[in-house]
Structure 1
Amino acid sequence: MDWQAENPELWAFLGSLRRGEILSGIVTAIESFGVFVSLDDGPPHPLYPGVGFITIPELSWGRFGAASDVVQVGQRVSGEFLQFDTWNAEARLSLRAMRPDPFYAFAEHATVGKELHGHVTELVPFGVFVQVANGIEGLIHRRDLTLMPDDDVQIGDDITVVVTHVDRERRQLLLSRQTTSQL
């Protein structure tokens, strides 16, 4: 479809947006791949239920099961404009950009060797994810577990872990089951 020729008002609106601009609107549809938003100042989209679109990763810094855990149809939202998606003629938005990344604040105080208490959130073939603060999860690699993940811990268990590595650039926190008294 030639969006520009068939929808000059839509194309002009999207072309006028600048990265970092804050756009507001109403959530009109939630799909498995993202959320459509009818923007306050935008024209209607000829095919989609909104000219604004938020991909799943841009909804929140924290882990969630479904987009409907973060937003609801009919909810008013404000997001940062990321880019003009010329393929779909959409304004790509980010809700998480509207809040500071909690990982960086956490990383300032998460030193290697620091003992933390956490809550097991997921068992995966290569290890266990543990939530150690609101919105902050770390990974215990399988090799750092005393037994196989399913035998050692279960989802929902509260455990003590030790920080073994903090990668601010990749937003990764590596943990171990060994406590400081065992090191």
Structure 2
Amino acid sequence: MSFSRQELADTIRSIPDYPKPGIIFRDITTLLGNPRAFRRAVDELVNPYVGMNVRKIAGMEARGFILGGAVAHQLSAGFVPIRKKGKLPHETVSIAYSLEYGVDEMEIHRDAVLPGEKVILVDDLIATGGTAVGAVQLLRQIGAEVVSACFVIDLPDLGGRAKLEALGVEVRTLVEFSGH
């Protein structure tokens, strides 16, 4: 028996006023700890791309590593970590980006993707889109063809999905939560 989208949403813990007052943090560790929910989420992220010859899955630190690794395994694709500046040991390319609570920098290994390789970006949540837009720009900078960006959670009131779509990136999400 599989989970409905609502049952999937019900496995996600909501933590009010974290990391600051007025924000509701959507915590997927409860989803990850539920074997049926985790399996359903990965299957839902994978299914549209079976047979599309996707070569790499890029995951953003840190929850994108968990989800992206599982998606990469299911698609028989490689996994590419996108990390905070200073965390990767080889030659990197970096980009500054805006996030919900400030500005940060992330990087990718310069040789992580071959020019023209099909890549899917995976993370747990799309909010304002700053991190995801930065990741797409970083992937394109090293020659990736970004096929899609996939997230478990969409916070549509914050507009991140629209920013990615404006870049010509297909966006897939599994559940939505209104508000912040």
Bigger helix share: 2
Larger Rg computed on CA atoms: 1
Higher relative contact order (CA 8 A, sep 6+): 2
Bigger strand share: 1
TM-score (norm 1): 0.21
